């Protein structure tokens, strides 16, 4: 289905592409710098006293286990966790694939020529296929089950302050400071309700299946953008810190990312983009205070003296580095509206311990700008478009 959608958009691009590109201001407002990626924070400030709305649907798929950079089969990791009083490195259940769906809604407002603020609300739906060992299959009468969690995820408060622009109206070079704070609105108390054994339905889901971090997490970043119509390019660097343990006595790994992007606008309402996305995520610090809900200790999933039933409860199996290549298409179907589709595929993954490898990400975004009565573009919308194409 994803391939068919991408192929259809490719045919659309070929059919409407002009032989030679002209100079364009961009699909977005001039003060934004003309164009910006929709899957990463932009590098500019919109026109003063205007709202931005962005609705994004993202799906990410993972399949196949890797350990220390080498692919391993699920069968090779299954077995009895304890033999003769010592761990064997085997598990009663291991993941074979995972799908994560995310819906993000962002609303923002430009308070001045330099300052922009916004809030992003998120909803997650996680589904992970688990395979049982022979012993667990015999006990449950099933070969595996599906772990699931869904609900509101963490909420991000964010702002951008423009540090520099070579032109106050239509900049060709600009730099901005990004700052944000993630609020712990996502649950860290999700339970393993789909497990075929009733006793395990009361246990907490593993870290990656929870909906939030459980902590207030600050983000800082620097954004830089250049343009020479019909080309736009830029670099964004961001860091999210996990500063303290949550109520479950652990903290998620801190995150750093570097995004480089280039855009080519070959029509007044259509552009293509290419990105290089570098991501680093640290290991989880600490360990869940209670795997089995309503109890203290970790008797069901293992502490230092007992085995992990599945590798997903072992904090050493989290974090690592990824490098992804992203291609995308942006289309302006009407003034002040943008439709963005991008597809990302990782070509390098260096993951800690035993983890599922990521296969792809697909994001579809609808972006809308809304001028207020105090905006310079408000009167332009009531009449005909001005020379910038609005």
Q: CA 1 to CA 221: how far, in whole Å?
A: 35
Secondary structure letter of residue 6 according to DSSP: H
Classify residue 373 as exposed, middle or buried by CB count within 10 Å of its CB (0-12, 13-18, 19+). Answer: exposed
Which residues, in sequence order, are CB contacts of 198 under 8 Å at separation 6+? Answer: none
Most confident of 25-39, 98-112, 192-206, 279-293: 98-112
Enumerate residues 6+ apart whose C-beta is below 8 A from 55. 103, 104, 105, 106, 365, 366
- What's the rounded Cα separation, in Å, for the pair 118 and 267? 30
Residue with more model confidence, 313 or 2: 313
Left, alpha or beta for 286 (phi > 0: left; psi -120 to 50: alpha)? left
Q: Quick one: pLDDT at residue 6? A: 39
Return the pLDDT at 87: 54
The total of other beta-carbon atoms located within 10 Å of residue 154's CB is 21
Q: What mean pLDDT do residues 117-146 have?
A: 95
- pLDDT in the model for residue 346: 97
Amino acid 381: pLDDT: 58
When pLDDT is averaged across residues 130-139 and rounded to a whole number, the result is: 93
CB 309 within 8 A of CB 92: yes
Both tokens of 327, joined, read 């291609």
**Residues linked to residue 223 through DSSP beta bridges, in sequence order:** 176, 236
Q: What is the mean pLDDT of residues 15-38?
A: 68
- DSSP result, 133-177: -HHHHHHHSSSEEEEEEEEE--EEEEEEEEEEESSSSS-SEEEEE
Long-range contacts formed by 9-13: CB under 8 A, 24+ apart = 9/329, 9/341, 13/270, 13/272, 13/329
- Which single residue is written with the structure tokens 């993941």? 95
pLDDT the model gives residue 305: 37
DSSP-assigned beta bridge partners for residue 234? 225, 261
Q: Output the six-digit token pair for 134.
A: 């022979």
Q: CB of 46 within 8 A of CB of 347?
A: no
Task: Name the average pLDDT for the chain.
Answer: 86
Cα-trace Rg, the chain: 24
Tally Cβ neighbours within 10 Å of residue 67: 17
pLDDT at 290: 67
Predicted TM-score (pTM) of this structure: 0.86
pLDDT of residue 230: 92
36 or 5: which carries more pLDDT confidence?
A: 36
What pLDDT, on a 0 to 100 scale, did the predictor assign at position 21? 47
Range list of β-strands (E), 34-92: 50-67, 70-72, 82-83, 86-87
Q: How far apart are alpha carbons 260 and 275 in whole angstroms?
A: 6
Q: What is the pLDDT of residue 299?
A: 36
What whole-number distance in Å separates Cα of residue 77 and Cα of residue 89?
7
Judged against a pLDDT cut of 50, whether residue 76 lies above it is answered with yes
Is 138 buried (19+), middle (13-18) or exposed (0-12) by CB count in 10 A?
Answer: exposed
Residue 309 has pLDDT above 50, yes or no: yes
Domains of the chain: 2-382 (2.40.160.40)
Residue 51: pLDDT band with limits 50, 70, 90? very high
């Amino acid at each position: 289905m994803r391939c068919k959608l991408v192929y259809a958009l490719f045919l659309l691009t070929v059919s409407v592409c002009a032989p030679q590109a002209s100079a364009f201001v961009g699909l977005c407002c001039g003060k934004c710098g003309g164009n910006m990626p929709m899957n990463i924070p932009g590098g500019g400030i919109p026109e003063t006293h205007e709202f931005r709305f962005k609705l994004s649907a993202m799906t990410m798929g993972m399949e196949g286990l890797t350990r220390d950079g080498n692919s391993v089969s699920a069968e090779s990791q299954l077995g009895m966790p304890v033999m003769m009083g010592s761990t064997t490195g085997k598990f009663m259940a291991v993941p074979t694939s995972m799908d994560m769906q995310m819906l993000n809604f962002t609303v923002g407002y430009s308070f001045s020529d330099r300052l922009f603020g916004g809030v992003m609300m998120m909803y997650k739906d996680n589904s992970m296929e688990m395979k049982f060992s022979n012993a667990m299959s015999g006990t449950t009468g099933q070969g595996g089950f599906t772990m699931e969690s869904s609900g509101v995820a963490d909420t991000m408060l964010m702002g951008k302050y423009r540090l520099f622009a070579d032109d106050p109206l239509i900049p060709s070079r600009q730099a901005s400071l990004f700052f944000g704070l993630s609020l712990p609105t996502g649950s860290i108390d999700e339970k393993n309700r789909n497990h075929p054994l009733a006793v395990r339905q009361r246990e907490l889901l593993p870290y990656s299946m929870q909906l939030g971090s459980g902590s207030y997490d600050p983000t800082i970043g620097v954004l830089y953008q250049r343009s020479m119509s019909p080309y736009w390019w830029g670099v964004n660097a961001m860091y999210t810190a996990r500063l303290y343990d949550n109520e479950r006595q652990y903290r998620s790994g801190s995150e750093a990312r570097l995004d480089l992007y280039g855009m080519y606008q070959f029509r007044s309402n259509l552009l293509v983009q290419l990105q290089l996305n570098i991501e680093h995520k640290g290991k989880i610090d600490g360990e869940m205070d209670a795997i089995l809900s309503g109890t203290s200790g970790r008797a069901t999933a293992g502490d230092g003296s007992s085995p992990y039933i599945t590798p997903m409860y072992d904090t050493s199996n989290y974090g690592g580095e990824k490098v992804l290549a992203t291609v995308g298409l942006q289309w302006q179907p009407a003034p002040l509206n943008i439709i963005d589709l991008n597809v990302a595929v990782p070509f390098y993954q260096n993951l800690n311990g035993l983890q599922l490898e990521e296969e792809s990400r697909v994001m579809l975004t609808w972006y809308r700008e809304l001028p207020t009565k105090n905006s310079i573009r408000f009167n332009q919308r009531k009449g005909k478009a001005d020379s910038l194409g609005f």
